[in-house]
Amino acid sequence: MTLNEQIKKQASIFWFTGMSGSGKTTLSCAIKNILIEQHLRVGIIDGDTVREGYKKKLGFSHDEVMQNNLHIASICQTVRTNYDVILVPVISPYAEIRQKVRDLLTPSFHLIYLKTDISSLRARDPKGLYQSADDGLITDLIGYSKTTPYEQPDNAELILNTSDQNPIERSIVELIEFINFTR
């Protein structure tokens, strides 16, 4: 098998970045079903699910976030030949981490940034994280707490506005078109 044939057999990876509640997992699950209907083999490697699998609880320091993201990238490498498309919803708050992941997973790595305003995130708050941060129970909520920033990507191949005023159906259509175009 030639190198080009090997590359073609590897899944395209679509890495979703955005703050908690921006719709990363929701969109990944919605488009997975559409892609399966197109007869594609699709996997989701969710950052929250991977994080829950650690024997020792992993925090949200820069180093722990780096460790988690690099572990997710390693999982992608391991299973890449089993799928046509891998969807990876994970916060990935730091440019440095996203670049390391891009370097590891290129070719066919695509960064998708879900940009959402804070008022939409607070209103959605599916895990109660923003309320907990407002109540002082969480002091390191990424992108919301002063100590843990979210660095907006400047090299995303696709930016989707997932604020409340934009219907999810629009994002689904844009994502499917993007995935079908870039695969």
State the amino acid at position 21 in one-letter form. Answer: G
Burial classification of residue 154, based on how many CB atoms lie within 10 Å of its CB (0-12 exposed, 13-18 middle, 19 or more buried): exposed
CA distance 100 to 115: 21
CA distance 49 to 163: 24
Q: Where are the alpha helices (DSSP H) in 11-61?
A: 24-37, 47-52
- Judge whether 92 counts as a catalytic residue: yes
Cβ neighbours of residue 89 closer than 8 Å, sequence gap 6 or more: 16, 24, 25, 27, 28, 44, 46, 47
Catalytic residue selected from 22, 28, 92, 163: 92
Which two tokens mark 117?
Answer: 């305003």
> Would you please indicate which residues are annotated as catalytic (active-site) residues?
92
